[in-house]
């Protein structure tokens, strides 16, 4: 079986989730990284897509138009060759703004999808869709060679790509409102690449005047993330909408508790790995939520490590191989 993945190979900034999946699959089947030439001319049995909207993006209007035309050609080729299409649903919806043409192309791609992979049992799927649920793998092996320092008392951390929906402005506002003497030593680190320069300026203005807040803006290497997460007493991820979060699993993989919004997904994760490791808050984050969670993280008697036994990559790779085989059988049966 030959698999074409929707992401190119060999990039240092590729999401480690994708890299670990790619490496595991290559031990069993032929896997090719994405290029438009390969997608439109090479033979493959399965096209596995993670974020199809990325395939439509271009840095200039001309490039974006070219991508749309190529995407339409790819849809035609997939249909004529009866190629199995497997789609992993990472988010409930795209966080990118899309034109009407892009929406129509993505809707056509959805109709052509053979099998859907969801990362948790709460992801809604099209009625009657062929699906598999395969849990997001952990990052323990990926970071095994990195040094993780001791925690800094009172250190709160947000890390990851900085985008508006992740609620970082609310986090800053809540943190600046903490004046309790017991938490006077608390500090907040915000680490990651801002989506736009305007967003970086907005967050900087919100934090101005509070020396307890520090930024490290830009791409963060694995070494940097291991250091930052290691120093955190609590990782705070106040997303406005949290469904699947690689950042949450990364913090847990490095043995640091997380504070996340309370919903069915995060409550299930807390039950899976241990409630001491996944702390939740209802509705909108408040200053009291931060102080309560920091106290809980500090004084809780954690188990030695969060239970991530259901998220090994051996299990995940096996699930993907079975899903690919099922998708190929489905298109052949048609």
Same-domain check for residues 85 and 177: no
141-162 confidence digits (pLDDT tens): 999 988 889 999 999 999 999 9
Same-domain check for residues 92 and 179: no
Q: Is 322 helix (H, G, I), strand (E, B) or coil?
A: helix
Among the ranges given (95-109, 273-287, 307-321), the one the predictor scored with the smallest mean pLDDT: 95-109
How many domains does the chain contain in total?
Answer: 2
**What pLDDT does 96 receive?**
63
Segment 20-39 shows an average pLDDT of 96
Same-domain check for residues 327 and 305: no
Among the ranges given (38-52, 98-112, 254-268), the one the predictor scored with the smallest mean pLDDT: 98-112
Segment 45-71 shows an average pLDDT of 94
> What stretch of H or E contains 49?
strand 46-49
The answer to whether the predicted template modeling score (pTM) of the entire model surpasses 0.85 is yes
Domain hosting 256: range is: 155-309
**What pLDDT does 94 receive?**
66
What CATH number should be reported for the domain holding residue 36? 3.40.50.2000
Burial class of residue 268 in the structure, from the number of CB atoms within 10 Å of its CB (0-12 exposed, 13-18 middle, 19+ buried): middle
Distances in whole angstroms, Cα of residue 188 to Cα of each of 168, 218, 286: 11, 17, 15
**What pLDDT does 11 receive?**
79
Same-domain check for residues 166 and 72: no
């Amino acid at each position: 079986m030959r698999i074409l993945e929707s992401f190119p190979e060999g990039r240092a900034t590729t999401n480690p989730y994708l890299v670990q999946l790619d490496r595991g699959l290559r031990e069993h089947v032929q896997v090719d990284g994405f290029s438009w030439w390969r997608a439109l001319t090479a033979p493959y049995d399965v096209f596995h897509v993670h974020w199809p909207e990325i395939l439509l993006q271009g840095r200039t209007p001309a490039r974006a138009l070219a991508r749309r035309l190529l995407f339409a050609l790819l849809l035609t080729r997939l249909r004529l060759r009866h190629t199995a299409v497997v789609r992993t649903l990472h988010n409930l919806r795209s966080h990118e703004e899309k034109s009407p043409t892009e929406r129509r192309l993505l809707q056509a791609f959805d109709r052509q999808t053979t099998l859907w992979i969801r990362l948790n049992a709460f992801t809604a799927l099209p009625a009657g869709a062929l699906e598999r649920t395969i849990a997001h793998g952990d990052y323990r092996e990926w970071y095994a060679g990195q040094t993780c320092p001791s925690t800094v008392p009172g250190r709160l951390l947000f890390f990851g790509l900085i985008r508006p929906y992740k609620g970082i402005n609310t986090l800053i506002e809540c943190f600046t409102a903490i004046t309790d003497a017991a938490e006077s030593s608390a500090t907040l680190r915000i680490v990651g690449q801002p989506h736009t320069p305007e967003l970086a300026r907005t967050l900087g203005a919100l934090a101005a005047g509070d020396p307890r807040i520090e930024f490290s803006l830009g791409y963060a290497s694995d070494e940097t993330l291991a250091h930052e997460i290691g120093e955190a007493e609590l990782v705070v991820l106040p997303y406005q909408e949290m469904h699947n979060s690689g950042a949450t699993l990364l913090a847990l993989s490095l043995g640091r508790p997380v504070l996340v919004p309370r919903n069915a997904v995060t409550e299930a994760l807390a039950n899976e790995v241990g409630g001491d490791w996944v702390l939740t808050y209802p509705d909108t984050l408040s200053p009291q939520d931060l102080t309560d969670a920091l106290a809980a993280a500090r004084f809780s008697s954690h188990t030695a490590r969060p239970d991530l036994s259901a998220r090994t990559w051996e299990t995940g790779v096996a699930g993907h191989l079975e899903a690919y085989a099922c998708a190929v059988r489905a298109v052949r049966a048609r």
